[in-house]
Amino acid sequence: MDNLDRARLLLADHPVVDGHNDLPWALREQVGYDLDARDIAVDQSTALHTDIPRLRAGGVGAQFWSVYVSTELTGDAAVSATLEQIDVVAELLARHPADLRRALTADDMERARAEGRIASLMGAEGGHSINNSLGTLRALYTLGVRYMTLTHNDNTDWADSATDAPGVGGLSEFGREVVREMNRVGMLVDLSHVAATTMRDALATSVAPVIFSHSSARAVCDHPRNIPDDVLRMLAANGGVAMATFVPKFVLPEAVEWTLAADRNMREHGLHHLDTTPAAMRVHADFEAAHPRPVATVATIADHLGHLREMAGIDHIGIGGDYDGTAFLPAGLEDVSGYPNLIAELLSRGWSDADLAKLTWQNAVRVLRDAEAVSRELSAVRGPSHATIEALDGPAV
């Protein structure tokens, strides 16, 4: 039996829990949530990285669906869009009950595995989704959101992002209260996208395990979206899980440099680097023709997982591909059917069956179960926080 066959057998017993998939936003942007136009019961490979047949082929047993909204949406508009994202996840579950099962707890994840269905959880991506309101945070939890990334690409009023200029210097006092309230209700604190200062502040504040839903190792690829070694050691002490992402510009040093050059070329043509108009795409295509894009591989991701394991330990790593949230992906991991290729690569590097069961399933389930236990303890001794950002951080400047 070759390693790919072994990988598929292993995934049949301990399927992948993937920490981050942007299918809901792709459905919003591509077809305005018209699920007939993007029926994930059948192959959608011309438009999406994700559909049910490929999730099945990839050995996915649980998915955190991101209910991300752009940071261009602020205030009430961000909250409304987040609710729309939650709504489309509910619609997906209602349309595909034989394949997708709503999951709110670790026990739900195990039930889904026993039933042969894909446990479907939700994660909010960016604290802008709560509009500085702990009541809104609790409402998202009630609606099924089980993690929140503290920032996306831009700072919030209370937390610094990895890809924005320093603001409050990590977490403000209100930001710490957000973390404490997430611990109390049982919502996982997600530190992907946040500045290293925010990572350290959150780890110093949280009494429950935290996650990185889609981040890799900064020592392997020096990008601010990745996790420094000292934070990985803190994560192990915290009991959390770092879920390696597949995005080439975060995992391959050559791709980091290429992306910076491509973005600079767009600016030199008077265009925003995220512009997808036909004129902008022609400029980008001309650049790529002259400067071929470096390609990450399955081995690239295995290198990151090896380093995450070395720094944090086998009990503190997982997978968060970021499918349908990026234009490019590594060779061999082009869509959600590719996970067996990664497991086969790790087998070739000497990872044991027990190691891989932790990576794919057990660690993620355990971290949610531990957060639930902390929530029960905290809820027994204190009620909801009604603190405001104005009271804790002072009036907005």
* Catalytic positions, written as ranges: 20, 22, 125, 152, 193, 214, 322
* CA 395 to centroid of chain Cα atoms: 32
What are φ and ψ of residue 284, in 5° steps? -65, -40
Helix (H, G, I), strand (E, B) or coil at 312: helix
Which residue in this structure is represented by tokens 């990872």?
351
Helix (H, G, I), strand (E, B) or coil at 206: coil
306, HSE (Cβ side, Cα atoms, 13 Å): 16
**Triad 66, 69, 72: Cα angle to 5°:** 155
118: part of which helix (H) or strand (E)?
A: strand 118-125
One-letter amino acid identity for 358?
K
One-letter amino acid identity for 376?
R
Q: For residues 167 and 162, give the distance between their C-alpha atoms in angstroms, rounded to a whole number.
A: 11
What sign does the CA torsion over 316, 185, 107, 147 have? negative
Q: For residues 81 and 129, give the distance between their C-alpha atoms in angstroms, rounded to a whole number.
A: 8
Q: What share of the chain is helix, strand, coil (3-state, %, to 5)?
A: 50, 15, 40
Contact (Cβ atoms closer than 8 angstroms) between residue 231 and residue 237: no
Which residue in this structure is represented by tokens 């009036």?
395
CA distances from 359 to 66, 80, 314, 342, 352 (A): 20, 35, 7, 11, 11
Contacting residues for 386 by C-beta, under 8 A, at least 6 apart: 134, 135
* CA-closest candidate to residue 159, choices 374, 397, 389: 389
Q: For residues 133 and 110, give the distance between their C-alpha atoms in angstroms, rounded to a whole number.
A: 32
Q: For residues 358 and 365, give the distance between their C-alpha atoms in angstroms, rounded to a whole number.
A: 9
